[in-house]
Chains A and B, each alone.
Chain A
């Protein structure tokens, strides 16, 4: 936001950047080679539902359009998630589907309401790792829950190192917010 907007107290809604998701499939190969974490075939899109009838109508339209391909749920922070499940072997398919969900939401005017997208990974010993995409920044960050309200920071940093060449990783660690209870983790 520029100085004039700040001075006049005007805030502009930030539009999302959707295309960066397509870099995920090749990054996942690198990630698996470096850390042993493989995609679980679960991905999700998180957005903020507005109050009022107009948004409710849009939302039901979007769900109808996507049909059985998505499962929708609400988290404890009041954000809505659309969950996509695909074969763990075909991450490309999952990413294409997530992009379809995103662009459906965006063309319906949800753009500024999009919070993040998440693709779940797991290793053979049952540890989970989410690669979170921040729409407004166009950047990714790893999120590794470690039971309760703790996160596995060393795994996250290891993942960042592994993915650094493949994806735009969020530089500001303060923005790596924990998505507790995200679907698939």
Chain B
């Protein structure tokens, strides 16, 4: 296991920007294709193709973005030992294990199914958490694998993109007909961009909501697997406390993107709007659920 704790506070920003760019890429790419007069079916096939690539390479893409490297049981015996045992308890095949050299305490699981999954933790997480808390985090990530969250979220985002695509196709053909009677209105291109942005924003909000729900589901399953909800709660509190310092600067750095797309939502960074765009439920909601599970376990 590496002991180099390279500070990497740009992680959140990088991932957020990646997501923005991915979404934007679809919208712009598809929009341009339609503007160029390519048939809707062709566009659909291409959009589906790109998503398939993302689906099948999700483990490699995520590892690459996080600078994660796979570790063998000899390199990280403790980590492997924990995952071995959790997998045996949950009766699931063991995922590959990776460590990312980053001081930000974080972990993720990716891969389209249980056979191609990777669980990755950062060195910052390994350094900060007690073994029991780390185990809670790993159980949470393994639950993501068991729930096939990559497949679910890929399909969910595809539906959003599909909806946006359909709207644009309808809009474009509809507007094409009425254009002759309506000189002096807004340019078609602008309307297409406005509507596509709106549809994309809506699907973005929806997939984020889905993501929050699945985080809660993974918390619950993870807590039940380790039988220690309080350890997971403690890990969450610790990690959130550490993270709270970092995103303030990152969001400011990411402001060009906010200004472009989500200024009112993220620049303020508090209140109801920020909650709608969050991929994870608020800490209080997650702790509440874990406390409930802990209470249920205590009653027997």
Contact = CB atoms under 8 A, between A and B. Distances in A.
Interface of A: 1, 6-11, 13-14, 48-55, 57-58, 77-79, 109, 112-113, 115-116, 134, 136-137, 149, 172, 174-175, 177-178, 180
Contact of B214 (A9, A109, A112, A115): A9
B88 A134 contact: yes
Contacts of A116: 88
Contacts of B132: 78
B208 to A, nearest CB: 16
B297 A51 contact: yes
A77 B77 CA distance: 11
B93 A49 contact: no
Q: In the complex, which range does the number of interface residues on chain B fall in?
A: 35 or more
A175 B81 contact: no
A58 B297 CA distance: 12
Contacts of B87: 175, 177
B299 interface: yes
B159 interface: no
B227 A50 contact: yes
A177 B93 contact: no
Contacts of B180: none
B225 interface: yes
Contact of A136 (B91, B93, B146, B147): B91
B226 interface: yes
Contact of B84 (A13, A58, A177): A177
Nearest to B132: A78
Contacts of A109: 300
Interface stretch (B55-63, B168-176, B216-224): B216-224
Nearest to B231: A51
- Main DSSP-derived SS at the B contact region: helix
- Main DSSP-derived SS at the A contact region: loop
A54 B297 contact: yes
Interface string B41-68: 0000000000000000000000000000
B88 A115 contact: yes
16 contacts: A7-B152, A9-B147, A9-B149, A9-B220, A10-B221, A11-B146, A52-B298, A52-B299, A54-B298, A113-B227, A137-B88, A149-B77, A174-B94, A175-B88, A175-B93, A177-B94
B236 to A, nearest CB: 15
A113 B143 CA distance: 16
B298 A136 contact: no
A51 B225 CA distance: 12
Contact of B226 (A8, A48, A177): A48
A112 B224 CA distance: 10
A129 B169 CA distance: 67
Interface of B: 73-74, 77, 80-82, 84-85, 87-91, 93-94, 131-132, 135, 143, 146-149, 152, 213-214, 217-218, 220-221, 224-231, 294, 297-300
B88 A51 contact: no
Contact of B146 (A1, A49, A55, A137): A1
Given A6-B146, A7-B152, A50 B297 contact: yes
A58 B148 CA distance: 34
Nearest to A134: B88
B81 A115 contact: no
B93 A172 contact: yes
Contact of B213 (A9, A11, A134, A177): A9
A137 B82 contact: no
Contacts of A52: 294, 297-300
Top-5 shortest CB links A-B: A54-B300, A9-B217, A177-B84, A52-B298, A50-B227
B221 A11 contact: yes
Nearest to A58: B300
B300 A11 contact: no
Contact of A51 (B131, B213, B227): B227
A152 to B, nearest CB: 15
B230 A51 contact: yes
B24 to A, nearest CB: 28
A135 B171 CA distance: 58
